[in-house]
Amino acid sequence: MKKKFIRAIFPGSFDPITNGHLDVIERSRKLFDELIVAVGRSPIKNPLFTPEERVEMVTELVKNMPGVSVESYDGLTVEYTSRKKADVILRGLRSVSDFHYEVTLAMTNRSIAGIETVFIMADAKNGFTSSTLIRDIASMGGDISHMVPSIVSKRLQRKLGEKK
Ligand code: ADP
């Protein structure tokens, strides 16, 4: 039987992209034929970077990963997923609290659009890494260099300098 070509969408805020997100991208790109990292443009709570800045950082970090591309999108993730003719939505799971949130989202997306969600478990070393935590620690002058790639760390310092 011919293997089906599988295109996955990895949607998120990526404000900013972290080592946790990158690990999910690295591991899952081997499972799919094509992976689109989709940066949501919908307003989020206390955003730090603009959608354009977030896309720029992700683009730089995946530029040497064949099969991986980056885009931003507006509106419903399921509509974007259908527009891109993607087969699955990919999400990462860190904890039980992620699970609670993701179950509702995945069930809703399947019931309104018939789209399947595939989950990948966080790597143990990135299991506590979140963009929110990184924004909070960095804004209080803490060291986040082990949780994000160096280009993100530099951008964070610049951005927080501008905000002062
Ligand atoms: P959203 O606002 O849609 O949750 P995020 O950018 O916070 O966007 O996260 C995008 C996806 O990446 C989510 O599925 C989230 O669970 C997952 N994720 C975030 N951080 C990590 C991490 N450290 N390890 C694994 N998955 C993660």
54 is catalytic: no
Strands laid side by side in the 68-73 sheet = 68-73, 34-40, 7-12, 88-93, 116-121
Looking at residue 163, its pLDDT comes to 73
Q: What is the pLDDT along the chain (164 residues), one digit of tens a residue?
A: 666 899 999 999 999 999 999 999 999 999 999 999 999 998 877 899 999 999 999 999 999 999 999 999 999 999 999 999 999 999 999 999 999 999 999 999 999 999 999 999 999 999 999 999 999 999 999 999 999 999 999 999 999 888 76
156 exposed, middle or buried (CB, 10 Å; 0-12, 13-18, 19+)? Answer: buried
- Closest to 163 measured CA to CA, from 46, 54, 40: 46
What pLDDT score was predicted for residue 164? Answer: 66
Can you give the pLDDT at residue 119?
Answer: 98
Catalytic site includes residue 21: yes
The predicted pLDDT at position 91 comes to 98
Q: What is the pLDDT of residue 95?
A: 92
- Backbone torsions φ then ψ of 49, nearest 5 degrees: -100, 150
The finding on whether 14 has its CB within 6 A of some atom of ligand 1 is: yes
- For residue 130, give Cα distances in angstroms to 65, 137, 146: 23, 11, 12
Q: Which of 13, 28, 131, 153 is catalytic?
A: 131
Output the CA 5–ligand 1 centroid distance in Å: 25
Q: Whose CA is nearest to atom 2 of ligand 1?
A: 13
Distance 85 CA to ligand 1 centre (A): 22
Distance 2 CA to ligand 1 centre (A): 33
DSSP category for residue 48: -
| pLDDT of res. 2 | 61
Q: What pLDDT does 43 receive?
A: 83
Find out whether the beta carbon of 47 lies less than 6 Å from any atom of ligand 1. no
Regarding the beta carbon of 16 and ligand 1, being less than 6 Å apart is answered no
Residue 40: per-residue pLDDT: 96
Q: Which of 45, 63, 85, 146 is catalytic?
A: 45
Contacts of 150 (CB under 8 A, 6+ apart): none
The whole model's pTM is what? 0.96
